[in-house]
Structure 1
Amino acid sequence: MDDSPTSTYTYASFYGAYPPRSPPPTPPRPEPVTGYNIRFVDLMAERTGKSIDLVFVLDCTGSMQRYINSVRDHIFAICDMIRGEEGLNGVDDLRVAIVNYRDHKPQDNTYVYKFNPFTSDIAEVQTYLRGLTAAGGGDGPEAVTAAMAACLTELEWRREAARMVVLIADAPPHGIGESGDQIKQGDPDGHDPLVIARTMAQHGITFFMVACEETLSNYSRAVDFFTAICNMTSGVMMPLTTADLLAMTIVGSVLENMDMERLIAEIGREVAERIREKGETMQSVEEVAQELHERLLLRNEQTKQVQLPDVYIQSDHSRKNVQAWMNAQFIFNAAPNILPVPGRRLTDKFRRNNQAQGFKYTPGGRLPPRRTSATTGAAPTSPDLSTSPAGHDVHPASPPRKIVSDFKAFGASSSTIGGSSLSVFGAPMLPTGPGGGMFGAAGLTPAMNASMRGMRGQGDDDDDDDDDESGTQLKRETISLDQARRIATQSVFRAGRLPI
């Protein structure tokens, strides 16, 4: 090969015969799955009283080992406390299932998801957890959607049970538009998390997200996306500050949700009917939630509540993003409309505290005192929630309250004075609609998430320096407006009438 200037043969002409490689084409988007036939088992003839079906969905990729270990180490204590607090005495009153996942090929060649079906044998659950290890995962997003779908397709639920799914993860699903996502079309089998969330809501399955921070918030869209999913199922998004708080966070979310289930069973039909009368819109859900909150305050309703530290910073863009996800039929409808969220997602105080702790997992963790269930055949004892160690301040049991069998006040017409809307109790409505309340722009309560506790403005990082930022607390307090929103949303979803 002649390198002289007079030669007509050049390196450029040699390499020109081999055009540069182009990235592999994105596979076509599969037809979306639009419906699920959830399998139910009817066991009413075999048992009486309340029961719980609880699923842990575990991310088993990357750095999740400490969280897997925390569930494994605390599973007996978690179940024991739930049983004691809720007076569950029967062997099968509490069943637990595990769905663990990694990622799709070629990002991970081990497995997409595996599961252990519902069982009341907690020793069996712990044995299964011992076999789980965190590894692999490929790109950032993981097979979250496949695991969510497995909760509907692989498990058999009880119709009479309170049904809950707790996702513990530090990464979003594929397809929501995250940078570096190698499966941009979403779940290869056509599952869509928005469809799954609506299906869960319609079948009374509440979805909780335990966000492992500060990893999850490093993704640009994950926080807003999971906030929307929790809103749609009337669940709670719980930022987890450190792995040793995981057990307390799980226990608190389950116990709080049991109070929501009790109220939905009591008044859900009347609440759904009131929303139907007002037009079955997100704004009507917000208005009825406020009316419901006032009425529950009048009867001195108190509930268990998970108190979470301030973690996320609220912004207009994040609120709009949550709204976009909730209003979309499929994730590919919303993804192009998601706005960039400027600035930080986590408060400076959260960063300082967790950097000092080093995000360590402490074996044994933190839990409230274990309650001893009543013996079989004896009347269940009322749990004493007045004291709790390790800073877990718990209020005494609810004082006597009047049981309201119907919500006839919902039949009254709202009035206006000077153009200002009044509720059925004559109190001014909080702002709703575009820009107001839970489903619109900012009102007096955080619009980003009825369940996202601790949302705050950009300038408030250091206002509460004396607060205990270190962890979750379980308290009994007067029912909150956020909880009334959850009741209203879940009631109308279960009635099958909330529009997409």
Structure 2
Amino acid sequence: MDDDMYEEGYPYMSYYAAYPPRLMATPPRPDPVTHYDVRFIDDVSMRSGKAIDLVFVLDCTGSMQRYINSVRDHIFAICDMIRGEEGLNGTDDLRVAIVNYRDHKPQDNTYVYKFNPFTSDIAVVQNYLKGLTAAGGGDGPEAVTAAMAACLTELEWRREAARMVVLIADAPPHGIGESGDQIKQGDPDGHDPLVVARAMAQHGITMFMVACEDTLSNYSRAVDFFTAICNMTSGVMLPLTTADLLAMTIVGSVLENMDMERLIGEIGREVAERIKEKGESLQSVEEVAQELHERLLLRNEQTKQVQLPDVYIQTEASRKNVSAWMNAQYIYDAAPNILPVVSRRLTDKFRKTNHNAGFQYTPGGRLPPRRRPSSEAKSEPVAIAAPVPSSPSRAGTSPTSPGRRIVQDFKPFGASSTNMSVFGAPMLPTGPGGGMFGSAGRTPNMNAMRGRDDNDDDDDDEGTQLRRDAISLDQARRIATQSVFRAGRLPL
């Protein structure tokens, strides 16, 4: 994304007027890449216990410098927070990789993507980040798909680790039908983001999208598209209010996902088997997710949860668009069926908050304080602390995550031929606006809870927080979805 588009009040369509259609034939669409041989390594030197492989995928086009700076300035503090909260004491328990991208020729003549492989030496990561600058980018959409594919083709993942990708961007990929897209056929090398997302899900790689606003929502299709991609990988779309909050958002997302990984490790096999018994449809995933949620609530299961201000307004058209993206094999199958979303995408309060903040980045940023175990306050928010200076990660920190009650008897579900769950409670509605799926049972929309409906006038906004609370239905859906993907049975 170019710098000019980021300026407040810059008219969206006039931005694209600077890039008139080229008087050349559109290149033919390349044959799609349909399979990825993800490389895994068995790290015998790693101590038994938790480990994390974390990839930052960074848009390095014109308007993204402040976000690059934020990752660079906070990478030590981010890693230190994750280590402390998760009790990662081993030298190699946390590895970080970087994939940075711009765009394909002729839109950008510098590079499509570059990467720094996984390393536990965070100083190496920071030095790599110091060399990244934001420039160029050509038309609006960028080489997002190439960068996503590079996570599968260029990096070596550990089988023992929780695997996560954090995409930080303010523009969509080519080929989804955005106005002004000069590479309408999509990725020139045949990568398709829907195929890549399904491959990530099958290999246990969760993708989070940090949406840099209010730029991304200026595109007509980007919000719904990235929501679908995150849903497919059991991740979450995280609209970012300011670059100051980037470090907090990353830390919270990783910590929340680690709780999901622990539960998948405990009960994922049983969840996948239960879904198989019910027919392996997306509707069965929803039903099992609700059963799972009830069972875990009875176990008093609590998880870390990132609480974000309401940002996106949900509409019937946006829900249908998410469904269309998720249920298409390739993006060119879905693109003709995407509905226009005529209403504004961002809430008035979000716009006001960001206008007052000026979309500024303050070196030092904000990170939440570490938490100690406490038997009090089941849902106590973690306030955003004053700026925390970056510091090298420290080994030997003690875990601060509260102890968890292990679920050992999830498997005995019991069949039910009624609309009642196995616990005797009525199933939640599964039509648009309720539950995970639409009326056809094929519309996962796990991010709806983070948006709002047109008639939602609630003006409460507590800011970005990290909480520990009773497991949410949204999280149960993520566990169920990821369990069935990892079992090799794709419900699409």
Whether TM-score is above 0.5 comes out as: yes
Distance in 2 (CA, whole Å) between partners of 1:77 and 1:453 is: 29
Amino acid at match of 1:427: A
Distance in 2 (CA, whole Å) between partners of 1:22 and 1:36 is: 33
In the alignment, structure 2 segments of 5+ residues that lack a partner are 1-20, 387-399
Q: Provide the secondary structure at the position in 2 that maps to 1:85.
A: helix
Alignment pair present for 1:464 and 2:467 = no
Distance in 2 (CA, whole Å) between partners of 1:91 and 1:464 is: 45
The answer to whether the 8 A contact 2:247-2:365 is kept is yes
Q: Provide the secondary structure at the position in 2 that maps to 1:367.
A: coil
The verdict on how the C-alpha distance between 1:46 and 1:476 changes in structure 2, with shifts beyond 3 A counting, is closer
Alignment pair present for 1:450 and 2:446 = yes
The C-alpha deviation readout for 1:226-272, integer Å capped at 9, x for no partner, is 00000000001000000000000000000000000000000000000
The C-alpha deviation readout for 1:60-80, integer Å capped at 9, x for no partner, is 001100000000000000000
Q: CA deviation at 1:22?
A: 8.1
The answer to whether the 8 A contact 1:270-1:406 is kept is no
Aligned counterparts, 1:23-38, within 5 A: 23-38=23-38
Alignment partner, residue 476 of structure 2: 484
Distance in 1 (CA, whole Å) between partners of 2:251 and 2:321 is: 29
Q: CA deviation at 1:116?
A: 0.3
Query: How many residues are aligned here?
Result: 455
Q: CA deviation at 1:113?
A: 0.2
Distance in 2 (CA, whole Å) between partners of 1:208 and 1:441 is: 27
Aligned counterparts, 1:83-482, within 5 A: 83-369=83-369, 388-390=382-384, 401=405, 403-410=406-413, 412-416=414-418, 421-432=419-430, 436-440=434-438, 449-461=445-457, 463-465=458-460, 467-468=461-462, 471-482=463-474
Q: State the identity %.
A: 82
The answer to whether the 8 A contact 1:435-1:442 is kept is no
The verdict on how the C-alpha distance between 1:289 and 1:22 changes in structure 2, with shifts beyond 3 A counting, is closer
The verdict on how the C-alpha distance between 1:141 and 1:22 changes in structure 2, with shifts beyond 3 A counting, is closer
Distance in 1 (CA, whole Å) between partners of 2:300 and 2:108 is: 53
The C-alpha deviation readout for 1:251-310, integer Å capped at 9, x for no partner, is 000000000000000000000000011111111100000000000000000000000000
Distance in 1 (CA, whole Å) between partners of 2:283 and 2:444 is: 15
Q: Provide the secondary structure at the position in 1 that maps to 2:262.
A: helix
Distance in 2 (CA, whole Å) between partners of 1:37 and 1:328 is: 22
The answer to whether the 8 A contact 2:46-2:92 is kept is no
- Superposition misfits of 4+ residues, deviation over 3 angstroms: 381-392, 396-401, 433-436
Alignment partner, residue 376 of structure 1: none
Q: CA RMSD in A?
A: 2.2
Alignment partner, residue 497 of structure 1: 489
The answer to whether the 8 A contact 1:70-1:363 is kept is yes
The answer to whether the 8 A contact 2:381-2:468 is kept is no
Alignment partner, residue 14 of structure 2: none
Q: CA deviation at 1:408?
A: 3.2
Alignment partner, residue 7 of structure 2: none
Q: CA deviation at 1:455?
A: 1.2
Q: Provide the secondary structure at the position in 2 that maps to 1:289.
A: helix
The answer to whether the 8 A contact 2:349-2:459 is kept is no
Alignment partner, residue 59 of structure 1: 59
The C-alpha deviation readout for 1:441-500, integer Å capped at 9, x for no partner, is 599xxx773135421111324x224x33xx421000000000000000000000011233
Distance in 2 (CA, whole Å) between partners of 1:63 and 1:242 is: 13
Q: CA deviation at 1:433?
A: 6.0
Distance in 1 (CA, whole Å) between partners of 2:266 and 2:407 is: 8
The verdict on how the C-alpha distance between 1:200 and 1:83 changes in structure 2, with shifts beyond 3 A counting, is same
Q: Provide the secondary structure at the position in 2 that maps to 1:247.
A: helix
The C-alpha deviation readout for 1:392-443, integer Å capped at 9, x for no partner, is 9xxx965763x32232332x11142xxxx10000100012267752121599
Q: Provide the secondary structure at the position in 2 that maps to 1:64.
A: helix
The verdict on how the C-alpha distance between 1:364 and 1:258 changes in structure 2, with shifts beyond 3 A counting, is same
The C-alpha deviation readout for 1:167-214, integer Å capped at 9, x for no partner, is 000000000000000000000000000000000000000000000000
The verdict on how the C-alpha distance between 1:452 and 1:101 changes in structure 2, with shifts beyond 3 A counting, is farther
| TM-score normalised by the chain length of structure 1 | 0.87
Amino acid at match of 2:459: D
The C-alpha deviation readout for 1:32-80, integer Å capped at 9, x for no partner, is 0000001111013542211000000000001100000000000000000
Q: Provide the secondary structure at the position in 2 that maps to 1:334.
A: helix
Q: Provide the secondary structure at the position in 2 that maps to 1:152.
A: helix
Alignment partner, residue 13 of structure 2: none
